[in-house]
Every structure is written in C-alpha cells, then in structure tokens.
Structure 1
C-alpha cells in the first residue's frame, strides 16, 4: 500500500483526509534523534560521581562538617561562659567592697572620738583595750588612717582648712596641724585628712 503526504503527516493511500477527520500520526523518520527532543542522561561531575559511587565517603564528609560546626559552637559557649564568670566575680567583689565601705564610713565618727580621747590622754585601762580592738578590726578590712603634723601637703590626700605657720621655716607646703585624720580603704581615699598648712617662706 502506498502512502500520500498531507498536512505534514503520512496517510495510507485510499484514506481521504477531510475536514473534522484527524489523520493518524506517523512520525517522520527524518525528525527522529536528539534534535527532535530525545532525552539523554545528564552528565555527572567528578565529585557527584564520586559521591554517587561512594556513599560512605559522602557520609563521612557530612559528619566531619557537623563535628566542625558543633566544635565551633562549644568554643563560642566556652568563651561566653568565661566572660560571664569574670563579670559575676567582678560584680561580687564590687558589692562586697561597697558593703565594707558603708560599714567603715559608719565607724569613722567612733574612730574620731577615740583619736580625740587619745589627744586628751583619756584612753586608759579597759577602754584602751576596746579602742585597740576596734582599730584592729577596721584595719583587717583594709582601713588605714593617715595624717600627722609635719607631713608634706598633698591635695589628693589632704584638705587644707587654714594657714598656720610653723616655728621653723619649711621648703614645701607642710601640714602644720591635723584637725581630723584621713582614711584610705584598700588604697582609695575614703576621707581626706583635714589640716592646717604652713607655706614656705
């Protein structure tokens, strides 16, 4: 049986192709091939081929990446904890120092009274023992008293209330009289010494 070509399709001879009648589709042998849209297998890269061919190696690589990520997380958490601990220790020490400072400030008037009593030779017998224990306890917490006649005047540690010359000449501004002792707490000036000063001639 011979065929005729109609509308881009081959139709067996004797079969009319009319309106409303669809001719059977016969593929044109000249269009078969890659150019006609034939599908081919995609080419895999070397790494993909290696992963496809060796799933164990791919799993090892995945686990190594996971271990590196978790290690970085642990290192970050360790650094954050160390910083947190330093802040807590610092804040605890500051709170402790603040508490000691408040208590010692309340004790200063008592210590001033002891100094005044000593100046008038009124610290005797049992009271002398109590005064000594109180001063020893204050020193245990870092309180140190200072200020004496003849000390060189230092504005960081002394507060000048008046000028009072000394019998002998001085080469630098000197404390000629101490009205009230000064105190430091762990090196910090808690209260400056209130003094009279003598200027050099």
Structure 2
C-alpha cells in the first residue's frame, strides 16, 4: 500500500499540495520584470500623494468648521426660543409703565446681549402682510383694492439669521369684499 491516495500519475504531487497550473506565458517568452521607478518618478508620485492628503485635510477642516457653526447656531436658536416668554413679559411691563429702575437696566442689558447673539425682532404697523413671517390674529376692512398690510402688532416676531423663531401676531387690513347679491 502506498501513502499517496490523492491520485496517480506523473502530475500528481504530494497530497498536501494542489496540482500546479500551466504557466500563463507561452514557453520561450519570459516576463520581463518592470524596471524600478526612477527618483524623479518617485518624487512625482510622493508629491501627488502629499497634495491629495493636504486637500483631504483641508476639506476635513472646512467640514468640521461648518459643523461647529451649525451646532452653535442650533444651540443659540434653542436658548433664544426659550427666552421669548421673558421678552414678552418685559414688553408687557414696558407697555404698562412698570419697567422702571433696576428692572429697566436688566431688560436693556438682556435685549442688548440677545441682539449680539443675532436675535432680531420684527413686525411693525404698516408692513405688508407676509404669511411666511406674520400670523393673522384678526382683520379689518381697509377699502377696495388694498394689498393686505399689518395694522397692529399683537406680539412681535423673532428670528435669528434665516431661522424663524416665532411669527409676528398681527391684525391685518384687507380689501373689502362686497357681499354677493
């Protein structure tokens, strides 16, 4: 009995090695090894790699900077939105003449700091009515062929940059519509 059980014949190798494949290059034609790259070619390749890495790093830095600004803006919007009821209370106290002394100084400081964070108040009588930034809480007839405009601001609106925090609540003057009949 022989130790070889995997096959017989002249091409059969030892059982732990796969049979050898035929060479891909026809006999007589030997594959010539590539010549090693010259120093100029190596320098050009390394320079291209370095430029590619520098561009990737610069893009990464810009993306991180944009992401940080976006996170900051979201945080500012969230904080300012939560402070709007306090601003409404200060406006109500101011309208009643109760904003005096130290409270007036605190209100001025708060409004100044909120302005530094980008908070902008809007909504003035006479402004054209814009449903994207105004909320009509009432209306009055203003005559024929009148474009809707704000007659009274019930509660001011606020925005930070392009973010609308709250629409202005307004009474709108609109064109009279005659009753059909």
TM-score by length of 1: 0.65
- Hey, what does 1:93 align to over in structure 2? 69
Structure 2: 5+ residue runs without aligned partners? 1-34, 177-181
Q: Decide whether the 8 Å contact of 1:165 with 1:176 is kept in 2.
A: no
1:69 is matched with which residue: 30, 37, 45? 45
Deviates more, 1:112-121 or 1:85-94: 112-121
TM-score by length of 2: 0.71
* Counterpart Cα distance in 1 of 2:66 and 2:102: 41
Structure 1: 5+ residue runs without aligned partners? 1-57
SS at match of 2:136: strand
Q: Are 2:134 and 1:158 equivalent residues in the alignment?
A: yes
Residue 169 of structure 1, CA deviation: 7.9
1:106-129 superposed Cα distances (whole Å, 9 cap, x missing partner): 110000111111222221222111
* Counterpart Cα distance in 1 of 2:68 and 2:111: 26
Q: Are 2:155 and 1:190 equivalent residues in the alignment?
A: no
Q: Decide whether the 8 Å contact of 1:159 with 1:193 is kept in 2.
A: yes
- Hey, what does 1:113 align to over in structure 2? 89
Highest relative contact order (Cα 8 Å, sep 6+), 1 or 2? 2
Residues 136-151 of structure 1 aligned to structure 2 (within 5 Å): 136-151=112-127
Highest Rg: 1 or 2?
Answer: 1
Q: Are 2:99 and 1:123 equivalent residues in the alignment?
A: yes
Runs of 4+ in structure 1 deviating by more than 6 angstroms, as ranges, are none
* Counterpart Cα distance in 2 of 1:174 and 1:191: 18
* Counterpart Cα distance in 2 of 1:154 and 1:119: 26
Q: Which structure has the highest helix share of the two?
A: 1
Residue 170 of structure 1, CA deviation: 8.0
- Hey, what does 1:40 align to over in structure 2? none
